Amino acid sequence: MSSIAISLLDIEDDASECLVAEDYQTREGKWCAGCGDFGALNAVKRLLAKEQLKPEKMAFVSGIGCSSRFPHYVNAYGFHGIHGRALPIATGLKLARPELDVFVVMGDGDCTSIGAGHWIHATRYNPNLTVLLLDNNIYGLTKNQTSPTTPQGYKSNTSPRGSVLPALNPLQATLGVSNASFVAQTADWVPAHMYATLQAAYQHTGFSFIRILQRCPKFTPDVFQDQIKNPDLTELLVHEDGVDAPGLERLFKARRVHDPKDIDEARSLAQRTDMLRLGIFFRDDSFPVYDEIRSVRPVSPEEKVQGLEREFDRYAV
Ligand SMILES: Cc1ncc(C[n+]2csc(CCOP(=O)(O)OP(=O)(O)O)c2C)c(N)n1
Ligand SMILES: [Mg+2]
């Protein structure tokens, strides 16, 4: 079930070498034609090239799902992990190797269903991770089961008469957690916005949570169709501390100035369903970051043995 994907191209450690987006891809993504995961991968590759990140200095951690195939395609260290467990794996990695840039890729089932407990606590721990939730509103890999984010009434193999509950809103849930420090929403069909959002998330110090609305042409082809066809149903959140990209103002007429420091407005906007909102809902760099306050000091084998002996002595009878 779990496997480790290590994919480093043989790139010489030459400071003068400039990597382009294509240098960060190892092979063609194995997703269906029209899957939004392709767009997310492209945006990530652009980010890595913009930041000139070294493949050997970053890691991509995922769970299990179509979206979790991501690490196989990125030229970096990768851990294609266990369903729902990407966040604790990534948190442990960041604690042990703070010098690495750690990215996490999860599906909606991965993050908001089996991994929900980890999601809440990772948000509160606020480790310095860039976290992508690829939300196609369905379990894709296992072929069409209702997930927590499936819209009410939507039919699937597990809910043939339609999902009975209102969908869980990942933005609302994340914004409700103490110490949540960065929450944004973007969409795979607005690549310029997705790229700008990834850049802002990467630059944020702490748990940068991005919900990427992701098309699944196979099992949820309808869920985002209205918004894709009619840009007037989408409102961009804009601010000097938010994200924007050239040309977006021509496509999206509805723009709202929202200060990402305003948690009350962020929560109120996240729960509204009148329009689709893209942008940074909340960000605050001043919150405690777990890997900074609890950094793990490297321990030598001798120190480990001494520590064990101390503990054995303590419990000796
Ligand atoms: C512990 C465990 N439970 C269940 C599964 C089966 N399983 C694999 S992927 C998946 C859901 C994938 O959906 P999602 O996380 O939304 O990712 P997507 O495929 O839609 O990208 C499930 C239930 C598993 N691999 N491991
Ligand atoms: Mg999914």
Place of tokens 């992990």: 81
Condensed to tens digits (0 to 9), the pLDDT of residues 128-158 reads 999 999 999 999 999 999 999 999 999 999 9
d(CA 161, CA 120): 31
State both tokens at 208.
């940068």
d(CA 111, CA 291): 21
Query: What distance in angstroms lies between residue 186's CA and the mean position of ligand 2's atoms?
Result: 16
What is the pLDDT, as a whole number, of residue 16?
Answer: 61
Query: Which of 2, 68, 141 for mutating ligand 1's site (highest number of atoms within 8 Å of CB)?
Result: 141
Measured CA to CA in angstroms, residue 28 lies from 32, 69, 72, 73, 175 at distances of 12, 11, 9, 7, 35
Query: What distance in angstroms lies between residue 108's CA and the mean position of ligand 2's atoms?
Result: 5
Asked whether 220 and 167 are in contact (CB, 8 A), the reply is no
Global pTM value = 0.92
Check if 109 has its Cβ closer than 6 Å to any atom of ligand 1: yes
Residue 131 backbone phi and psi in degrees, to 5: -115, 120
d(CA 182, CA 42): 22
- Report DSSP state, residue 229: H
| Host H or E run for residue 58 | strand 58-62
Check if 70 has its Cβ closer than 6 Å to any atom of ligand 1: no
What is the pLDDT, as a whole number, of residue 200?
Answer: 98
Condensed to tens digits (0 to 9), the pLDDT of residues 161-194 reads 999 999 999 999 999 999 999 999 999 999 999 9
Query: What distance in angstroms lies between residue 62's CA and the mean position of ligand 1's atoms?
Result: 11
Which three-class secondary structure state does DSSP give residue 139? strand
Residues 6+ apart with CB under 8 A from 295: 95, 98
Q: Is 219 left (phi over 0), alpha (psi -120 to 50) or beta?
A: alpha
Q: Are strands 145-146 and 138-139 parallel, antiparallel or unpaired?
A: antiparallel
Cα dihedral 223, 228, 234, 237 sign: positive
Place of tokens 């999902």: 163
Computed over its alpha carbons, how large is the radius of gyration of the chain?
20
Q: Where are the domains of the chain?
A: 21-314
Residues 6+ apart with CB under 8 A from 85: 63, 115, 118
- Report DSSP state, residue 79: E
Query: What distance in angstroms lies between residue 133's CA and the mean position of ligand 1's atoms?
Result: 13
Instruction: Note down pLDDT in tens along the chain; length 317 residues.
Output: 344 444 444 444 555 689 999 999 999 999 999 999 999 999 999 999 999 999 999 999 999 999 999 999 999 999 999 999 999 999 999 999 999 999 999 999 999 999 999 999 999 999 999 999 999 999 999 999 999 999 999 999 999 999 999 999 999 999 999 999 999 999 999 999 999 999 999 999 999 999 999 999 999 999 999 999 999 999 999 999 999 898 999 999 999 999 999 999 999 999 999 999 999 999 999 999 999 998 777 789 999 999 999 999 999 88
Buried b (16+ CB within 10 A) or exposed e, 179-205: ebbbbbbbbbbbbbbbbbbbbbbbebe
Ligand of minimum distance to the alpha carbon of 68: 1
CA 119 to chain centre: 11
State both tokens at 167.
């969908």
Classify residue 265 as exposed, middle or buried by CB count within 10 Å of its CB (0-12, 13-18, 19+): middle
Q: What is the DSSP string of 230-282?
A: -GGGEEEEE-TTS---TTHHHH---EEE--TT-HHHHHHHHH--SSEEEEEEE
CATH superfamily of 21-314: Thiamin diphosphate (ThDP)-binding fold, Pyr/PP domains (3.40.50.970)
Count, residues in the chain: 317
What is the pLDDT, as a whole number, of residue 262?
Answer: 98
Query: Which of 105, 110, 119 for mutating ligand 1's site (highest number of atoms within 8 Å of CB)?
Result: 110
**Nearest-CA residue for atom 24 of ligand 1:** 83
Beta strands in 18-129 (DSSP E): 58-62, 77-80, 101-107
